[in-house]
Amino acid sequence: MLNYIEQLGFNAKQCKVTLASATTEEKNAAIMEIANLLRRYKREIIAQNEIDLENGSRRGLSDALLDRLMLNEKRIDAMADACEHLCILEDPVGAVDGGHLSPKGMRILKTRVPLGVIGIIFESRPNVTVDAGALCLKSGNCCILRGGKEAINTNITLCALMRKALKTAGLPEDCIQLVENTEREMAVLMMKCNEYIDVLIPRGGARLIQAVVKQATVPVIETGAGNCHVYVDSTAELDMAVNIVDNGKTQRPSVCNAIETVLIHRDIAEDFLPKMKKKLDEHNVELRGDEMTKMILGDCVVPVTEDDYAAEFGDYILAVRVVDSLGEAIEHIQKYSTGHSECIVTESLFAADEFQKRIDAAAVYVNCSTRFTDGEEFGLGAEIGISTQKLHTRGPMGLKELTTVKYLINGSGQIRG
pLDDT digits (tens, 9 = 90+) for 134-155: 999 999 999 999 999 999 999 9
Confidence of residue 269 (pLDDT cuts 50, 70, 90): very high
Using alpha carbons, select from 193, 200, 190, 252 the residue that is nearest to residue 226: 252
Same domain for 56 and 161, yes or no, is yes
Same domain for 233 and 200, yes or no, is no
Average pLDDT value over all residues in the chain: 95
Q: How many residues does this entry show for the chain?
A: 417
Q: What is the rounded average pLDDT of the residues 309-319?
A: 94
- Confidence at residue 388, expressed as pLDDT on a 0 to 100 scale: 87
Report which of residues 384 and 258 the model is more confident about.
Answer: 258
Same domain for 201 and 132, yes or no, is yes
- Confidence at residue 136, expressed as pLDDT on a 0 to 100 scale: 97
Q: Is residue 112 part of a domain?
A: yes
Q: What is the rounded average pLDDT of the residues 117-133?
A: 92
Find the range with the poorest average confidence among 221-235, 265-279, 360-374: 221-235
Q: What is the rounded average pLDDT of the residues 101-105?
A: 95
What lies within 8 Å, CB to CB, of 252 at 6+ separation is 67, 258, 371
- Confidence at residue 390, expressed as pLDDT on a 0 to 100 scale: 84
- Domain of residue 170, CATH code: 3.40.605.10
CA 350 to chain centre: 31
Q: What domain range includes position 242?
A: 228-372
Q: What is the rounded average pLDDT of the residues 107-114?
A: 97
CA 177 to chain centre: 20
Same domain for 192 and 316, yes or no, is no
- Confidence at residue 48, expressed as pLDDT on a 0 to 100 scale: 98
Q: Strand 363-366's sheet: what is its strand order?
A: 302-303, 286-289, 317-323, 259-265, 228-232, 341-345, 363-366
Alpha carbon distance 372, 71 (integer Å): 22
- Domain of residue 355, CATH code: 3.40.309.10
Alpha carbon distance 13, 6 (integer Å): 10
Same domain for 194 and 255, yes or no, is no
- Confidence at residue 391, expressed as pLDDT on a 0 to 100 scale: 82
Which of the 8 DSSP states describes residue 222? -
Proportion of the chain above pLDDT 90, given as a percent: 86
Confidence of residue 120 (pLDDT cuts 50, 70, 90): very high
- Confidence at residue 204, expressed as pLDDT on a 0 to 100 scale: 78
Q: Is residue 171 part of a domain?
A: yes
Amino acid, res. 234: S
- Confidence at residue 336, expressed as pLDDT on a 0 to 100 scale: 97
Domain count of the fold of the chain: 2
- Confidence at residue 78, expressed as pLDDT on a 0 to 100 scale: 92
- Confidence at residue 230, expressed as pLDDT on a 0 to 100 scale: 98
- Confidence at residue 225, expressed as pLDDT on a 0 to 100 scale: 76
- Confidence at residue 223, expressed as pLDDT on a 0 to 100 scale: 81
- Confidence at residue 277, expressed as pLDDT on a 0 to 100 scale: 98
DSSP helix, strand, coil percent of the chain (3-state; round to 5): 45, 20, 35
- Confidence at residue 403, expressed as pLDDT on a 0 to 100 scale: 96
Q: Is residue 184 part of a domain?
A: yes
Residue 29 has pLDDT above 80, yes or no: yes
Judged on CB neighbours under 10 Å (0-12, 13-18, 19+), 36 is middle
pLDDT tens digits for range 371-380: 999 887 887 7
Q: Is residue 416 part of a domain?
A: no
Same domain for 202 and 331, yes or no, is no
Q: What is the rounded average pLDDT of the residues 352-371?
A: 97
- Confidence at residue 111, expressed as pLDDT on a 0 to 100 scale: 98
Residue 94 has pLDDT above 90, yes or no: yes
- Confidence at residue 53, expressed as pLDDT on a 0 to 100 scale: 96
Quick check: helix, strand or coil at residue 275?
helix
Whole-model pTM? 0.85
Alpha carbon distance 99, 45 (integer Å): 47
Measured in degrees and rounded to the nearest 5, phi and psi for residue 257 equal -95, 10
Q: Is residue 378 part of a domain?
A: no
Confidence of residue 97 (pLDDT cuts 50, 70, 90): very high
Distances (CA, A) of 295 to 33, 116, 274, 298: 58, 56, 12, 6
Same domain for 172 and 244, yes or no, is no
Confidence of residue 15 (pLDDT cuts 50, 70, 90): very high
Same domain for 347 and 398, yes or no, is no
